[in-house]
Amino acid sequence: MRIDIITLFPEMFAPLNESIIKRAREKNILNINLIQLRDFAFNKHNQVDDTPFGGGSGMVLKPEPMFRAVRSVLKDSLPNEKRRILIMDPIGKIFNQSKAKELAGFDQLIFICGHYEGFDERIYELADEAVSIGEYVLTGGELPAMVIIDAVARMLPNVLGSDESAKTDSFYNGGAGYPQYTKPRDFEGRLVPEILLSGHHAKIAEWRRQQSLIRKK
Ligand code: ADE
């Protein structure tokens, strides 16, 4: 999957150089490009934002640099039906696991991130959809983009090892998972449930199923 991220703060994306995402990039399952919005500013001050018409506090991201940035990404992009352009927005549609699964079906995702300020309304027409990671306001779209990339990447074939993916199946299938234990059997008096030590696979499977129902909110 190809991922293009348009942002004023490409250095915030350092977490995508760690762990499972790092491995996926090394294996060329993920190809991530960071695009500096300021490179598409059109005046000598590299200005990307301005004061809002009608007054009010704060700055607003100007349309021209964002249109130029997105158009430049689209120049060598995959056809429309294989890609999705997402704008990170606190009042967008709330991201969840089924959205992650849907996005994992595309070959290219393009992320539009703002920072501090709002977007000029005309920027929204560049995006296929506005996505929020929850009902709270962050300082920018960078963390939301990383959250979405992480959740989508782990659904792509061969990103997780077989051990890791088996573990996540229950949530993926709609459950909330079951309690897990490893050694020691007795940690400061907190014991591992007997059933897990019984070696009785059918009973363990049933116990896990029950537990996952209890956990599901
Ligand atoms: N930008 C600021 N807050 C956000 C949120 N909660 N989700 C997506 N983008 C955002």
142 lines ligand 1 (CB under 6 A): no
84 is catalytic: no
89 lines ligand 1 (CB under 6 A): yes
Mean of pLDDT values over 35-47: 93
194 is catalytic: no
In this predicted model, which residue has the larger pLDDT, 50 or 170?
50
Mean of pLDDT values over 74-103: 96
134 lines ligand 1 (CB under 6 A): yes
154 is catalytic: yes
93 lines ligand 1 (CB under 6 A): no
Q: Which residues contact 180 (CB under 8 A, 6 or more apart)?
A: none
pLDDT at 169 over 80: no
What does the pLDDT read at residue 174? 44
Tens digit of pLDDT for each residue in 99-120?
Answer: 999 999 999 999 999 987 799 9
Which residue owns the Cα nearest ligand 1 atom 4?
A: 90
| Cβ atoms within 10 Å of 103's Cβ, excluding its own | 20
What does the pLDDT read at residue 67? 98
List 169, 185, 193, 215, catalytic entry:
169
| Share above pLDDT 90 across residues of the chain, in percent, rounded to a whole number | 86
186 is catalytic: no
List 83, 84, 154, 208, catalytic entry:
154
Q: How far is CA 42 from CA 39, 48, 58, 197, 203, in A?
A: 8, 8, 21, 67, 67
| Share above pLDDT 70 across residues of the chain, in percent, rounded to a whole number | 93
CA of 106 to the centre of ligand 1 (A): 22
Secondary structure class of 174 (helix, strand, coil): coil
Mean pLDDT of the residues in the chain: 93
Mean of pLDDT values over 171-184: 74
Q: Which residues contact 142 (CB under 8 A, 6 or more apart)?
A: 7, 9, 12, 13, 88, 113, 115
CA of 207 to the centre of ligand 1 (A): 39
